Each structure stands twice: as structure tokens, then as C-alpha cells.
Amino acid sequence: MVILTKIKSEKRNSIIIFFLIAILLLLLVSCHQHLQKENPYNLKIISNVSDYKKLISINPEETLVDIEKLIPGIVLDIRYATKNNFTNQQIYSSPKAFVRKPVAEALLKIHTALNSKGLGLKVFDAYRPYSATMKFYEVYPDTNFVAAPWKGSVHNRGCAVDLTLIDLNTNTELEMPTLFDDFTTKSAHSFLNLSETVLKNRELLRDVMTKYGFVQYEHEWWHYDFVGWQDSDLMDILFEEL
């Protein structure tokens, strides 16, 4: 009887262990699938705050700076924190704009230079978490206007900015070829069938941006990449965590 009870107990323990192992395997598979969904192309992405803090402790130049705090009078119109964007969805939970430290310092110089002409900057987007780039591509899979998720965006590196010029006296935007995120050929720098005023405004923005270390993106008059962006890592950290 004692032997039979022992056998039943061992059998029960074996069943319990089997189920525990099965649950653990399911959790591991689920975790792997989640990671694959967030980073299906196995890119090198900084996706947690502790890794980001380690990075900036080694290289403070990689700090993501809140440009609104650094640049007095800069105007933000963060479209992806609203539904007023090409996705018709709110992508960001906060209307914030972050860029790497050298990028922020260059934008400060640009804004200051423009102020002397009665002009300023309005920013539509800056650092963008990688998960947002994934979402954008799902909605609009055209890599002329939306970054290829298998490469990541310069926005994901905190080294790109979408912006325009404003008149400080009226706080209105200068007339440009299109509205922000107009995915047509009219948005390209090569499009010339525009009024003299619009051409002049686009050229003014391009000239001041390139003077302080930015490079234009051919398909979008509003998008500029900072020189040396390749040295910064892709990131997928929410604004609230920075």
C-alpha cells in the first residue's frame, strides 16, 4: 500500500512538473513572438531606459534633449500626438520633441539666426520611437515617404527633424510647397512649378538648415537629417521614459 501511494505521488509530481515546463515553454514562445513583433528585422535597437542611461554615461553627446526646454520660443506642432496626421491615429502619448544634444544645439543656432529676421522654427516631429516607424509602414508602405522598418529611420536615432518656418509677428507659417506630410511629388525639393514666394521660402529653410549641419531629404521639403546620424543608435523608448 505504501509503495502504491508512493508511485501515485511520484506520478502526480511528474504531471505537475510536466505542466510547469509546458507553461514555461509557452511563456518563452510568447516572449519571443513579442520581441519578433517589436523588432522583426533583428536590428540593434536601444529599447530600455537602463541601456540608454549606460549609453549617455559613456557618451553624453548622445543624450536626447527636450528642444522646447533648450530653445526659447520654438513652436511645437507634434502631429503624431494627435489624430491630425496621415495615419488618422494618435501615435504618441505626449506632444514632445527630443533630439540628440548636437542636433539640439544646432537647432538653437538656427532659431537664433532666424529670430534676427523676425522668423522662427515650428517643429512637427523629431525623435520617433522605432515602434512608431513600424506603425507608419503598416499604414503607408511607401519608402519614399515612410522609413523602411528593416533599416529604421533617422528619426529613430534622434537625428532628424520635420519643421517649417514661422513669422514671429503673426505666429503663422510661411507658405511652403505643401502642408506637412503631403505625400505627393509637389513635396520634393526638385519640384519647381511653384510661386516665387514659395520657392524663396523653401530655399530660405534649406539654406539655414544646411548652414548649421543638416542635409535635406529630397522627397520632403520639411525633413532634415543631421550630418553624422549614422553614429547614433536606433531607439524605441517612449517620451515619458526619457
Is CATH 2.102.10.10 correct for 46-241? Answer: no
The DSSP code sequence of 109-151 is HHHHHHHTTTEEEEEEE----HHHHHHHHHH---TTTS--TTT
Judged against a pLDDT cut of 90, whether residue 7 lies above it is answered with no
- Please provide the DSSP assignment of 22-43 as one string: HHHHHHHHHHHHHHHHHSTT--
Residues 182-187: what's their mean pLDDT? 97
Spatial contact of 107 and 71, defined as CB atoms under 8 Å apart: yes
Residue 235, judged by CB atoms within 10 A of its CB (0-12, 13-18, 19+), counts as buried
Higher pLDDT, 27 or 227: 227
Examine the pLDDT at 6 and tell me if it is beyond 90. Answer: no
Q: In Å, how far are 108, 119, 121 from 113, measured between CA atoms?
A: 9, 9, 11
Which residues face 166 on adjacent strands? 120, 173
Confidence of residue 35 (pLDDT cuts 50, 70, 90): very low
Domain ranges of the chain: 1-38, 46-241
- Percent of the chain at pLDDT > 70 equals 85
Q: What mean pLDDT value characterizes the chain?
A: 90
* Residue recorded with cell 533599416: 151
Contact indicator for 76, 97 with CB cutoff of 8 Å: yes
**Helices H, strands E: what count in the chain?**
6, 10
- In this prediction, residue 33 has a pLDDT band, given cuts at 50, 70 and 90, of very low
Residue given cell 511652403 in the structure block: 176
Per-residue pLDDT at 19 exceeds 60: no
Angstrom distance (rounded) from CA 88 to CA 43: 28
Residue 118 confidence class, pLDDT cut points 50, 70, 90? very high
For 130-184, the pLDDT digits (tens) are 999 999 999 999 999 999 999 999 999 999 999 999 999 999 999 999 999 999 9
The better pLDDT of the pair 31, 55 is held by 55
Higher pLDDT, 39 or 124: 124
Which of 32-36, 90-94, 234-238 comes out lowest in average pLDDT? 32-36
